[in-house]
C-alpha cells in the first residue's frame, strides 16, 4: 500500500477563481486504485454536494449547491 497526499480544489460555480482548497491523504494499492478513489470523490461532490459541517462561506447561502468541478493535485508520500 502506498500513501498519497496533496490537495483537492472544489469549484462551486463556473467562474470560481480561487476555489475551496482542502488537504487530502489517500492510501491505495496502486495508481489504478488511486484513480478509482479520486473518481469516486469527484462524483460524490458533483452529485451530492458537501458535508454540512464543512460548508464554506459561499455554501452557507447556497446549501443545495453542487460542485461545478473538483481538481486534484496528488503526489506519492516518500
The residue range of the domain holding 21 is: 2-76
Strand ranges, E, within 1-78: 2-11, 20-28, 69-76
Q: What is the pLDDT of residue 55?
A: 59
Summarised one tens digit per residue, pLDDT across range 18-75 is 888 999 999 999 999 999 999 999 998 888 877 766 655 555 666 667 888 999 999 9
Q: What is the pLDDT of residue 62?
A: 64
Report the C-alpha gap between 23 and 1 in whole angstroms. Answer: 20
Q: Judge whether 22 and 74 are in contact, CB under 8 Å.
A: no
Number of domains the chain contains: 1
Amino acid at each position: 500500500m502506498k500513501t498519497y497526499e496533496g490537495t483537492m480544489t472544489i469549484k462551486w460555480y463556473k467562474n470560481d477563481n480561487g476555489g475551496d482548497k482542502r488537504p487530502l491523504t489517500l492510501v491505495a494499492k496502486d495508481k489504478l486504485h488511486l484513480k478509482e478513489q479520486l473518481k469516486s470523490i469527484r462524483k460524490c461532490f458533483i452529485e451530492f454536494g458537501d458535508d454540512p459541517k464543512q460548508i464554506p462561506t459561499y455554501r452557507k447561502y447556497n446549501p443545495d449547491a453542487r460542485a461545478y468541478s473538483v481538481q486534484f493535485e496528488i503526489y506519492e508520500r516518500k
